Amino acid sequence: MSNTVLKLLLDPITEDTSVIDGQSRICNWLYNHLVEKASHLRKEYCEKQNSDTAKTLYTERGLRNLLPKIKQEKPFLKVVHSSPLKNTALRLSNAIQSYQKARKGKRKGKLGWPKYRSWKEKWFSLFYDEPGKGFSVENNILTISLGIEQDRKRRSLSIPIIDAHLLKGKVIRNLRITCELGVYYAIFTIEQELPKKKPISKVIALDPNHKNLCYGVDLQGKAIEIAAPLWLKKFDKRLDELKSKRDRCKKKSKKIAILNEQGEIVKEYYLPSKQWKKCDNAYKKALRKRREQTKTFMFTTAHNLFRDYDSVAIGDYTPHGEGITTPMRRAMNNRSLIGRFKDVLSWVAEKSGKTFCEFNEKGTTRTCNKCLHQMEGGIPLAIRKWECPHCKTLHIRDENAAINGLKKVLWDLREKNEALASIVSGSDLDFVKERWAWCVSPSGVVSTLQGRNSEMFAAPGN
Asked, for residue 284, whether it belongs to a domain, the answer is no
Asked, for residue 288, whether it belongs to a domain, the answer is no
Asked, for residue 457, whether it belongs to a domain, the answer is no
- Three-class SS state of 293: helix
Asked, for residue 346, whether it belongs to a domain, the answer is yes
Same domain, 356 and 210: yes
Structurally, how many domains does the chain consist of? 3
pLDDT band at 25 (very low <50, low <70, confident <90, very high): very high
pLDDT band at 260 (very low <50, low <70, confident <90, very high): confident
Q: Is the pLDDT of residue 265 over 80?
A: yes
Same domain, 140 and 207: no
Asked, for residue 460, whether it belongs to a domain, the answer is no
Asked, for residue 462, whether it belongs to a domain, the answer is no
Residue 68 to residue 439: CA distance in whole angstroms: 57
DSSP readout, 205-246? Answer: EEEE-SSSSEEEEETTSEEEEE---THHHHHHHHHHHHHHHH
Same domain, 98 and 39: yes
Residue 302 to residue 389: CA distance in whole angstroms: 37
Between 458 and 52, the higher pLDDT residue: 52
Same domain, 222 and 332: yes
Same domain, 372 and 389: yes
Count of beta carbons in the 10 Å neighbourhood of residue 152: 7
- In this prediction the pTM is 0.78
Same domain, 365 and 264: no
CATH number at residue 217: 3.30.420
Q: Summarize the confidence of residues 198-203 as an average pLDDT.
A: 88
- Three-class SS state of 328: helix
Q: Which helix (H) or strand (E) holds 20?
A: helix 14-48
Residue 270 to residue 226: CA distance in whole angstroms: 48
Q: Is the pLDDT of residue 460 over 50?
A: no
Amino acid at 191: E
Which stretches within 309-396 are classed as H helix?
A: 326-333, 338-352
pLDDT, the chain, mean = 86
Q: pLDDT tens digits for 405-455? A: 998 898 888 777 655 544 444 344 457 888 889 998 877 888 888 766 544
Nearest to 204 by CA among 421, 454, 415, 445: 421
Q: Are 188 and 175 in contact (CB under 8 A)?
A: yes
Confidence (pLDDT) at 324: 63
Q: Is the pLDDT of residue 461 over 60?
A: no
Q: Are 58 and 42 in contact (CB under 8 A)?
A: no
Q: Which helix (H) or strand (E) holds 404?
A: helix 397-415
Residue 142 to residue 42: CA distance in whole angstroms: 40
Q: Which helix (H) or strand (E) holds 441?
A: strand 434-441
Nearest to 76 by CA among 147, 177, 161, 1: 147
Same domain, 46 and 176: yes
Confidence (pLDDT) at 428: 43
Confidence (pLDDT) at 207: 93
Q: Is the pLDDT of residue 103 over 90?
A: no
Asked, for residue 361, whether it belongs to a domain, the answer is yes
Same domain, 299 and 334: yes
Length of the chain in terms of residues written = 462
* Residue 242 belongs to domain spanning: 237-279
The secondary structure of residue 190, as a DSSP letter, is E
Same domain, 228 and 185: no
Q: pLDDT tens digits for 162-185? A: 999 998 888 899 999 999 988 999
Asked, for residue 66, whether it belongs to a domain, the answer is yes
Same domain, 129 and 219: no
Q: Which residues of 390-419 are buried (b: 16+ CB within 10 A; e: fewer)?
A: eeebbbbbbbbbbbbbbbbbbeebeeeebe
Of the listed ranges 284-298, 341-355, 382-396, the least confidently predicted one is 382-396
Q: What strand order describes the sheet that includes 2-9?
A: 2-9, 183-192, 172-180, 126-128
Q: Are 74 and 32 in contact (CB under 8 A)?
A: no
Same domain, 44 and 166: yes
- Tell me which of 138, 168, 192 is where a domain ends: 192
Q: Summarize the confidence of residues 340-368 as an average pLDDT.
A: 91
Same domain, 221 and 172: no
